[in-house]
Amino acid sequence: MKIKALIIFFLFSIFAVNAQNEDWKQKIKSLKIAYITEHLDLTPKEAEKFWPIYNKHDDKINELRHVEMRRIKHQLKEDDIANISEADAKKLLNEYIQLEEDLINEHKQMNIDLMKVLSAKKIILLKKIEDDFGRQLLQKLRDKKGH
């Protein structure tokens, strides 16, 4: 257990030092995988089935969250909201609503797929672990910035 904690600390340290590098997304993903591995306590059989499912859905969720959301936000920056037509605003709002629905559906499908390989209790624990990881990552970033 101490070795895993040291690995996570080391990975967090690497991330803090190299946060400006272009591969920061991959580093965050590596940190997240290490954190989940340490805290979820999967059996080897569970891990073999869990990771392909988790990675597939997590990649899709990240793509939706970052790529599609960035596209919508970019469009908002290009268009002055005060000057946007009602029709264009409605179109943009519908795109945003669709994105939110796609995210919900992807989370739902991930849970359905994970229930085939993990207990409901471990899936709930996974959600807590993901939230804890996100909070710790944000805290590390705040600490690094001195806020």
80 with 137, same domain: the answer is: no
Please check whether residues 73 and 105 belong to one and the same domain.
yes
Question: Domain tally for the chain?
Answer: 2
Query: What single letter denotes the amino acid at residue 107?
Result: H
pLDDT at position 146 over 60: yes
- Which tops the pLDDT comparison, 84 or 12? 84
pLDDT higher than 60, residue 21: no
Q: Does 110 lie in the same domain as 90?
A: yes
The answer to whether residues 47 and 105 belong to one domain is yes
The whole-model pTM stands at 0.74
Average pLDDT over residues 59-81: 80
Alpha-helical runs (H) found in the chain:
2-17, 24-40, 44-62, 69-78, 86-114, 120-145
pLDDT at 2: 52
